[in-house]
């Protein structure tokens, strides 16, 4: 087990919050942990990040 596992388990971000996370201006990434092993969860995170990037690009033009 990881040395800091208890710490990280307290601060895991639900995948449902990925859209809000990536909408923040000073956040440019996320630690996805176990979601990388689940195609559905990984796709949801990727989609949220992609939409946030598209929105940021549209806002800057």
Please, are residues 48 and 22 in contact by the beta-carbon 8 Å criterion? Answer: yes
Q: Which of 15, 5, 6 minimizes the C-alpha distance to 35?
A: 15
Give the tokens for residue 54. Answer: 């598209």
What pLDDT, in 10s, does the model give residues 11-53? 555 667 777 888 888 877 777 777 677 788 888 888 888 988 8
* 7: pLDDT strictly greater than 70: no
pTM exceeds 0.85, yes or no:
no
């Amino acid at each position: 087990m990881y040395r800091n596992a208890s710490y990280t388990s307290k601060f895991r971000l639900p995948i449902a919050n990925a859209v809000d996370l990536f909408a923040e201006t000073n956040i440019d990434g996320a630690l996805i942990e176990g979601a990388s092993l689940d195609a559905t969860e990984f796709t949801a995170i990727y989609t949220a990040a992609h939409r946030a990037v598209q929105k940021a690009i549209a806002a800057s033009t």
